[in-house]
Structure 1
Amino acid sequence: MRINKGVEWAAHACAVLAPLWPERGLSLAALAEFHDVPEPYMAKQMQALSRAGLVDGGRGRSGFYRLAKAPAEITLLDILLAVDGDEPMFRCTEIRQQGPCGSRPEDCIVPCNIAAGFARAEQAYRASLAQIDLVTLSRSVAAQIGMEKVMLAGQWIGERVRTRG
C-alpha cells in the first residue's frame, strides 16, 4: 500500500494548524513555504480538506486556512479520506473466473478469500488511523522533534499567523 504525498502534505498542514484553532490560521503561501512544497499542489490538498469540512478558508494566496473542527475531532483517517477518497484500496476483478480453470460466476457468490483478506486488513488499517487525532499527533510530533525545534516553528508560525476577521 502506498499513501500519496498529498495525504502527507495535508496531514502536515493540519498538524501545523492544530495549535492555532479555533480563530487563527495561516495563508496558503505560509503553509506551502513552511513545508517547502509547491503552492499549487498544497492548494489542491487544502481544497480537498475544505470540501471534507476539515478546514475553513482559502480564496487564493492571500486567504487563510484554519481548522473547521477541534483538533481532537480530526483524525488521520479523516485526512486520508478527504484527500484520497473512500474507495477501497483493493478492487477485486474476479480473476478467479478467468483462465482455463476459472470458476463459473454462479460459483462466486461469496467474496474470494483474497478479497476478504484485503478487506479485513483495510478495516484494521482504517480503525488504527481513526484512533490518531490531531491532538495526539501534535503531542507526539513535539516530543519527537524536541523543544528547540518546537520553539523555532512556533516563532516562524507566530510571525505569519492570521486571525479570522
Structure 2
Amino acid sequence: MKLSEGVEAAIHAALTLAGLEREATMPASALAGQFGQSPSYLLKHLNALTVAGILQSLPGPAGGYRLARLPEAISLLDIVLAVEGPRPAFRCAEIRQRGPAALPVSVFAKPCVINAAMLRAEKAYRAALAHETLDGLMDAHTVQTDPRAVAAGCAFVLQNQRAQKKSKTV
C-alpha cells in the first residue's frame, strides 16, 4: 500500500501544530518551509485537515493554523482519511469475471476471497492507525528522537507561532 507524500506532510504539520501554545497559530508558509514543501501543495493538505475538523484556520495577518481538537483526540487514521479519502486502498475490479474463458456471473455469487482478504487487512491497518494519536507521537518523539532535533523543532515552533488576541466580551 502506498500513501501519498501529502499524508506524511499532513502528519508532520499536525504534529508541529500540536506543539503550539494554547490559542496560538502558525502560518502555512512557515510549515511548508520547515518541511521543504511548496506552500500551495501543503496548503491543499492543510485545507483537507481543516474540512475534516482536525485543524482550525484563522484568517488575517496574524492568522494561520492550529489544532481544532486536543492531540489525544486526533489519530493517524483521522489524518490519513482527511488526505486520502475514506475509500479502501484495494478496490476489487472483479477481474476474475473477465477474459476469454469468462464464466456466467452466477458462478461468482460468493465474494472474491482476494477482496475479502484485502478488506480484512485494510480493517487491521485502519485499526492500528486509529490507535496512534498525535499525543502518543509527541511522547515518542520526545523520548526517541535525537535531542538536537527535538530542540530544533521546539525553537521552530517558538519562532513561528503567532499569539492570538483574546476577544473582549461585552
Both proteins in one fold, TM over 0.5:
yes
Instruction: Tell me, yes or no, if the aligned pair for 1:26 and 1:162 is still in contact at 8 Å.
Output: yes
The aligned residue for residue 127 of structure 2 is: 127
Task: Give unpaired runs (5+ residues) of structure 2.
Answer: 166-170
Q: Which secondary structure does the structure 1 equivalent of 2:56 belong to?
A: strand
Shift of 1:147: 2.2
Structure 1 residue 103, shift from structure 2 partner: 3.2
Mapped to 2, the partners of 1:7 and 1:13 lie a distance apart of 10
Query: Which of 76-85 and 142-151 deviates more?
Result: 142-151
- Spell out, residue by residue over 1:49-104, the C-alpha distance to the aligned partner (whole angstroms, 9 max, x if none): 00100000154886300000000000000000000000111111111111233332
- By how many angstroms is 1:113 displaced? 0.3
Structure 1 residue 111: deviation in Å? 1.5
Give runs of aligned pairs for residues 1-165 of structure 1, distance below 5 A.
Answer: 1-20=1-20, 22-57=22-57, 59=59, 63-165=63-165
Check conservation: 1:74, 1:133, Cα contact below 8 A. yes
Shift of 1:138: 1.2
Determine the C-alpha separation between the residues in 1 that align with 2:34 and 2:164. Answer: 20
What's the CA shift for 1:139? 1.5
Q: Which moved more, 1:126-135 or 1:57-66?
A: 57-66
Mark the CA change 1:96 to 1:146 in structure 2 (over 3 Å): closer, same or farther: same
C-alpha separation in 2, matches of 1:21 and 1:95:
53
RMSD of aligned alpha carbons: 1.7
Relative to 1, partners in 2 of residues 1:125 and 1:161: Cα closer, same or farther, differing over 3 Å? same
Question: Contact 2:32–2:38 (CA<8 Å) still a contact in 1?
Answer: yes
Q: Deviations over 1:14-62 (max 9, x none)?
A: 0101122641221111111111211110100100000100000154886
Q: Contact (CA 8 Å) 2:141, 2:150: kept in 1 or not?
A: no
The change in CA–CA distance for 1:54 and 1:90 in structure 2 (over 3 A counts) is same
Percent pairwise identity: 39
Check the 8 A contact 1:27/1:65 in 2, yes or no. yes
Give the C-alpha shift of residue 160 in structure 1.
1.3
Q: Show structure 1 runs of 5+ residues with no match.
A: none
TM-score (structure 1 length as normaliser):
0.92
> 2: distance between equivalents of 1:21 and 1:123?
35
State the TM-score, normalized to the length of structure 2: 0.90
CA separation of 1:61/1:30 partners in 2, compared to 1, >3 Å: closer, same or farther? farther
Q: Distance in 2 between matches of 1:10 and 1:156?
A: 17
